[in-house]
């Protein structure tokens, strides 16, 4: 298996632009998580899905952030409009079932100018 | 609420010496504990986990961790450090019946030749 796939790996955009981050979880994994990593705040859980349904989005910082999972093999995290403080590394992770570990993707490094 | 504390931002050890990376946690009920490692510009990689059973858990790359319920600790250990072990290490906890992982702030391990 190729593992969790994220695209793009790097994204540089200007303030006010829309940004879409993509994730393909490992096949058969029914949980999907989006995290953000910054030096100041460490690793933060933004939202997670179970069987494509959003379960907890309490970590989503603002209404500018939205996430979808239209099917079991694809999820997006969208920021509209983007701001410089959104600059971070965004990780997607998937997990098979309730009692297993999460598998992380390589991350997307987002820079908002 | 659940939380994880990694009291050391950095641990320095000489190659061949034993290493310990400390972690204490707080969670209501039975904890489910993890250690992950992150190499530069990579996603987090799973090292080991504790659910129940033997307090000493063995994981990848010769790492092990000891669960201590009375001290609410889950310290990561390795008998003989390698230069290639140099990386950022994260401890994480969740309630056994929950889904949301809470990560510590990370500890940078530096192994010098």
How many angstroms from the chain centroid is the CA of residue B34?
6
What span, in angstroms and rounded, lies between the C-alpha atoms of A58 and A81?
A: 19
HSE (side-chain half, CA atoms, 13 Å) at A19: 29
- The tens place of each residue's pLDDT in chain B, 113 residues long, gives 889 999 999 999 999 999 999 999 998 888 899 999 999 888 999 999 999 889 999 999 999 999 999 999 999 999 999 999 999 999 999 987 778 899 999 999 999 99
pLDDT of B29 reads 84
B99·A31 Cβ contact <8 A: yes
**Which among B24, B26, B16, B30 is positioned nearest to B74, based on CA atoms?**
B24
- For chain B, the distance separating the N- and C-terminal CA atoms, rounded to the nearest angstrom, is 41
Enter the DSSP assignment of A53: E
Q: Give me the residue from A31, A98, A104 closest to B44, CB to CB.
A: A104
Chain B residues with CB-CB distance to A42 below 8 A: 103-106
Mean pLDDT of chain A: 95
- Contact list in B for residue A93 (CB cut-off 8 A) is 43-44
Q: What does the buried/exposed string (b/e) look like for B39-56 if buried means 16 or more CB atoms within 10 Å of the residue's CB?
A: eeeebbbbbbbbeeeeee
**Which residues of chain B does A56 touch, with a Cβ-Cβ cutoff of 8 Å?**
99-100
> How far off is chain A from B83, nearest CA to CA, in Å?
22
Parallel/antiparallel/unpaired status of strands A88-95 and B3-5? unpaired
Per-residue pLDDT, A2: 81
pLDDT digits (tens, 9 = 90+) for A47-60: 999 999 999 999 99
Any A CB within 8 A of B99 CB: yes
Alpha carbon of A80: minimum distance to chain B alpha carbons (Å): 25
Q: In this predicted structure, what is the pLDDT of residue A1?
A: 64
Contacts of B105 in chain A (CB under 8 A): 42
**Residues in contact with B108: Cβ distance below 8 Å, sequence separation at least 6, in sequence order:** B9, B10, B11, B87, B88, B89
* pLDDT of the residue at B97: 75
Q: What is the mean pLDDT of residues A6-21?
A: 97
By Cβ distance, the residue of A42, A56, A101 closest to B106 is A42
């Amino acid at each position: 298996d190729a593992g969790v796939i994220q695209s793009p790996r790097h994204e540089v955009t200007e303030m006010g632009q829309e940004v879409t981050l993509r994730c393909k979880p490992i096949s058969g994994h029914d949980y999907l998580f989006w995290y953000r990593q910054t030096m100041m705040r460490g690793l933060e859980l933004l939202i997670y899905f179970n069987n494509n349904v959003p379960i907890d989005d309490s970590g989503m910082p603002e209404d500018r952030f939205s996430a979808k999972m239209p099917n079991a093999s694809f999820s997006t995290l969208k920021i509209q409009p983007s701001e410089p403080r959104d600059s971070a590394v965004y990780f997607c992770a998937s997990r098979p079932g309730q009692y297993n570990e999460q598998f992380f993707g390589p991350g997307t490094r987002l820079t908002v100018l | 609420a659940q939380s994880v504390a990694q009291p050391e931002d950095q641990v320095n050890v000489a190659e061949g010496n034993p290493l310990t990376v400390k972690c204490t946690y707080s969670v209501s009920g039975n904890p489910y504990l993890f250690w992950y490692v992150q190499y530069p510009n990579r996603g987090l990689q799973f090292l080991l986990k504790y659910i129940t059973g033997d307090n000493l858990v063995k994981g990848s790359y010769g790492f092990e961790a000891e669960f201590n319920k009375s001290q609410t600790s889950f310290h990561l250990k390795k008998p003989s450090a390698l230069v290639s072990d140099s990386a950022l290490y994260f401890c994480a906890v969740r309630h056994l019946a929950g889904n949301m992982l809470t990560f510590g702030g990370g500890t940078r391990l530096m192994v010098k030749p």
